[in-house]
Amino acid sequence: MNNGDHITSPAAKVKTSTPPVRIFFGFFGIALIRKWIQAGSQAKFRIMENVDQQLVNDFIEACHLAGRLGLVRCSSGNLSLRVGPDTALVTASRSWLQDLREDQIALCRISTGELLCGGPASVESRFHLGILHARREIACVFHFQSPAATTFACIPDVTDFNIVPEVPFYIGPIARVPFLLPGTAPLADAVVAAMRDHDLAILQNHGLVTVGTTLRHAIQNAEFFELACDLMLRAGDRVVMLTPDAVRTLREPHAGA
């Protein structure tokens, strides 16, 4: 034997070779894992496939619009939209509305709060779904924290916001909810109770909730209320509010609601 000849020991052969059985089960295991992942992914999005894609697109665009208008900061706001008799889209927990993606949306059952796919839903989904369940005519619930309006959420003795016609005409009377911890059942119950006969509520030291028959309707309510609050802050002691007669006349569209 020449000195240059390479000798492979039996032990080395055992270490470097893979039995055919192990190769088979290795490929089989990988294929099985891939199948499980694919099945799980399909199951996750199967229910979302039953939602009209245009509704999903509109929902995302409304979230982006709310961000552009400055009605939310980072993950402070949340939005929901009725998409079926007992289903609603809800923004996911800790998502930023201004750059919301489709994978940051939860589909929930309105009557039970059950998460059907996506998620996890916003911690405030309890009052979103509670309002949608209590008021069948409403399609959208919007929780926002715009600067001027949230300032008045921290001033408990202000009750009259009728500084411009848009408030009594489009929004109507404003409800107030005392401070309760965010994401809790007591807060959800209080908000739902307040919103049974109001289209906008101030949550003490927290923010605002409004509703609409469409996404744009809810965002319009929020924007008009923010406008009114901003004007009141700018005017200060010199502010002149609408007269009671004017408010009564402007609120007539809400009388039969």
Phi, then psi, of 40 in degrees rounded to 5: -65, -40
Burial class (CB in 10 A: 0-12, 13-18, 19+), 54: exposed
| 8 against 147, higher pLDDT | 147
**Cα(33)–Cα(150) distance, integer angstroms:** 49
Distance between CA 238 and CA 195 in Å, rounded? 31
The beta-strand segments (E) located in the chain are 78-84, 87-91, 105-109, 115-118, 140-144, 175-177, 200-203, 207-212
Determine the pLDDT at residue 50: 81
How much is the pLDDT for 24?
Answer: 45
User: β-strands 175-177, 200-203: how paired?
Assistant: parallel
Q: 212: pLDDT confidence band, cut at 50, 70 and 90?
A: very high
Summarised one tens digit per residue, pLDDT across range 149-191 is 999 999 988 999 999 999 999 999 999 999 999 999 999 999 9
Predicted structure pTM score = 0.81
What is the H or E stretch that residue 3 is in?
Answer: none
pLDDT tens per residue across span 12-70: 444 445 555 454 445 555 554 455 444 444 444 444 678 999 999 999 999 999 999 99
pLDDT by residue (tens digit) across 77-110? Answer: 999 999 999 999 999 999 999 999 999 999 999 9
CA–CA separation, 153 vs 176, rounded Å?
9
Contact indicator for 82, 140 with CB cutoff of 8 Å: yes
Q: What CATH class does 52-255 carry?
A: alpha beta
pLDDT of residue 137: 98
| Average model confidence (pLDDT) across the chain | 87
